[in-house]
């Protein structure tokens, strides 16, 4: 599904293949020449957003620097997935206020969804969708070539891409049987999650948002997925992990843990906050 956005598929037409947008926007700037650990990659302030005319995000603020891993936890329905979808420009969500700046001052909210993806913003969806009739490998190749184009790199031809794909598939523990299948077609829940991580590994985003990528995974799959994420992680990129479970954070160590409640980040801390939440739950939210 992340690829649907990359290729310009809108949320309401996920099942229909729409040709990738060829227009290049003047608002998309080239990748900055120097990327250093500690540079601000994402700066969100007071973000408010509606879905279906009700306000879900009520002033979210979050700053993410290159090299950092942030975990966002919080009760169901608190707006975590809404936040992630707003950042990638999902059309069902209307931003009503606040700002989200990307890299060195680009207004993320001004970019089209496919421009955000091509500029290195990636979302692994909580519920990846199946896209019947579109082969996974063609889809991945188109998406990767769009991203490479945005980076000023030459496109991979199909044979070259096959080599890249095979290598990345082995890192996420996917067998070659998946190459010829439709995007997520008949994949189990865990296979869909691995496919999202495969997309991430291929696209090499600067900002990767993983929405409950751990849910539905058995412990071996969880370890493989975490290894995939840890291999991708570098001083130049950043990861936002949305999760309910401390166990993922045993494998992917967060620098910061945030709690979202009722459309706002109400508490932030270090990795110890996740341990505290596992022990005590979210009861403190009722007291505050």
Instruction: Verify binding: residue 128, ligand ADP, rule CB under 6 A.
Output: no
270 near ligand ADP, rule: CB under 6 A:
no
Q: Is 59 helix (H, G, I), strand (E, B) or coil?
A: strand
Residue 213 binding result from Mg ion, ligand ADP, none, given CB thresholds of 5 to 8 Å by partner type? none
Asked if residue 51 binds ligand ADP (CB under 6 A), the reply is yes
- For ligand ADP, which residue of 3, 5, 67, 80 counts as binding (CB under 6 A)? 80
Map residue 22 onto helix, strand or coil.
Answer: coil
Residue 94: its H or E element: strand 93-102
Stretch that binds ligand ADP, among 75-83, 95-103, 154-162, 243-251 (CB under 6 A): 75-83
Contacted entry of Mg ion, ligand ADP, none for residue 116, CB cut-off 5 to 8 Å set by kind: none
How many amino acids of this chain bind Mg ion (CB under 5 A)? 3
Is 81 among the residues that bind ligand ADP (CB under 6 A)? yes
- Among the candidate windows 119-127, 187-195, 200-208, 215-223, which touches Mg ion by CB under 5 A? 119-127
Residue position matching structure tokens 């309401």: 12
128 contact, one of ligand ADP, Mg ion, none, CB 5-8 Å limit per kind: none
Does 81 engage in binding with Mg ion (CB under 5 A)? yes
Q: How far is the CB of 107 from ligand ADP (least distance, A)?
A: 23
Residue with the shortest CB distance to Mg ion: 81
Whole-angstrom CA distances from 159 to 138, 141, 166, 191 are 12, 10, 11, 24
**Binding flag, residue 78, ligand ADP (CB under 6 A):** yes
Is position 91 an interface residue for ligand ADP (rule: CB under 6 A)? no
Nearest distance, CB of residue 70 and ligand ADP, angstroms: 15
Minimum CB distance to Mg ion smaller for 79 or for 190: 79
> Taking CB under 6 A as the rule, does residue 210 contact ligand ADP?
no
Give least dist CB 85 to ligand ADP, A.
8
Question: What does the binding site for ligand ADP look like in residue numbers (CB under 6 A)?
Answer: 51-52, 56, 74, 76-82, 92
């Amino acid at each position: 599904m992340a690829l649907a956005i990359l290729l310009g598929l809108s949320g309401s037409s996920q099942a229909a293949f729409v040709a990738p947008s060829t227009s290049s926007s003047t608002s998309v700037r080239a990748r900055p020449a120097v990327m250093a650990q500690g540079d601000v990659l994402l700066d969100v302030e007071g973000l408010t957003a509606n879905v279906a005319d009700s306000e879900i995000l009520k002033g979210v603020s979050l700053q993410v620097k290159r090299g950092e891993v942030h975990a966002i936890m919080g009760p169901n329905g608190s707006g975590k997935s809404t936040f992630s979808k707003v950042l990638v420009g999902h059309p069902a969500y209307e931003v009503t206020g606040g700002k989200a700046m990307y890299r060195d001052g680009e207004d993320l909210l001004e970019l089209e969804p496919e421009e955000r993806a091509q500029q290195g913003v990636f979302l692994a969806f909580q519920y990846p969708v199946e896209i019947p009739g579109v082969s996974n490998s063609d889809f991945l190749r188109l998406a990767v070539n769009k991203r490479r184009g945005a980076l000023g790199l030459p496109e991979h031809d199909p044979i070259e891409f096959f080599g890249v794909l095979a290598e990345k598939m082995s890192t996420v523990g996917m067998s070659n049987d998946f190459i010829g299948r439709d995007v997520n077609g008949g994949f189990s829940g865990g296979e869909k999650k691995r496919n999202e991580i495969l997309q991430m590994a291929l696209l090499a985003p600067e900002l990767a948002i993983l929405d409950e990528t751990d849910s539905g995974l058995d412990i071996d799959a969880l370890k493989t997925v975490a290894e995939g994420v840890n291999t991708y992680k570098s001083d130049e990129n950043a990861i936002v992990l949305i999760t309910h479970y401390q166990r993922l954070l045993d494998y992917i160590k967060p620098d910061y843990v945030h709690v979202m409640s009722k459309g706002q980040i109400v508490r932030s801390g270090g990795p110890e906050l996740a341990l505290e939440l596992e022990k005590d739950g979210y009861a403190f939210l009722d007291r505050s």
